Amino acid sequence: MDTVVTYQYYRSASRITIFAHIFGVISMILMLVWLLHYREGVDIVSYDPIKIFNVHPLLMFLGVIFLSGEALMAYKTVRGERRVKKSAHFLLHLGAIILGIVGIHAAFKYHYRRDLRNMYSFHSWIGIGTFCLYILQWVIGLGMFMLPYTRRETRLINLPWHISFGRAIFYMTIVAALTGLMQKSTLMQLPFFSGELLLINFLAIFILLFGVTVDMSVALARYA
Please list the pLDDT of the chain residue by residue as tens digits (224 residues).
455 555 555 555 678 999 999 999 999 999 999 999 999 999 999 999 999 999 999 999 999 999 999 999 998 888 888 889 999 999 999 999 999 999 999 999 999 999 999 999 999 999 999 999 999 999 999 999 988 888 888 888 999 999 999 999 999 999 999 999 999 999 888 888 899 999 999 999 999 999 999 999 988 876 65
| Model confidence, pTM | 0.91
The pLDDT of residue 223 is: 62
Residue 128 within a domain: yes
Residue 166 within a domain: yes
CA 130/CA 220 separation, integer angstroms: 25
Question: The domain that contains 152 carries what CATH number?
Answer: 1.20.120.1770
Residue 188 within a domain: yes
The pLDDT of residue 127 is: 97
Farthest CA pair distance, the chain: 65
Q: What is the 3-state secondary structure (H, E, C) of the chain?
A: CHHHHHHHHHHHHHHHHHHHHHHHHHHHHHHHHHHHHHCCCCCCCCCCHHHHHHHHHHHHHHHHHHHHHHHHHHHHCCCCCHHHHHHHHHHHHHHHHHHHHHHHHHHHHHHHHHCCCCCCCHHHHHHHHHHHHHHHHHHHHHHHHHCCCCCHHHHHHHHHHHHHHHHHHHHHHHHHHHHHHHHHHHHHCCCCCCHHHHHHHHHHHHHHHHHHHHHHHHHCCCCC
Residue 165 within a domain: yes
The pLDDT of residue 7 is: 55
Q: Pseudo-torsion of CA 88, 89, 91, 94, nearest 10°?
A: 170
The pLDDT of residue 193 is: 83
Residue 36 within a domain: yes
Please tell me the total count of domains within the chain.
1
Residue 224 within a domain: no
Residue 187 within a domain: yes
CA 100/CA 103 separation, integer angstroms: 5
Residue 56 within a domain: yes
Q: Which domain holds residue 110?
A: 2-219
CA-based nearest residue to 56, from 118, 149, 143, 133: 118
The pLDDT of residue 170 is: 97
The pLDDT of residue 77 is: 85
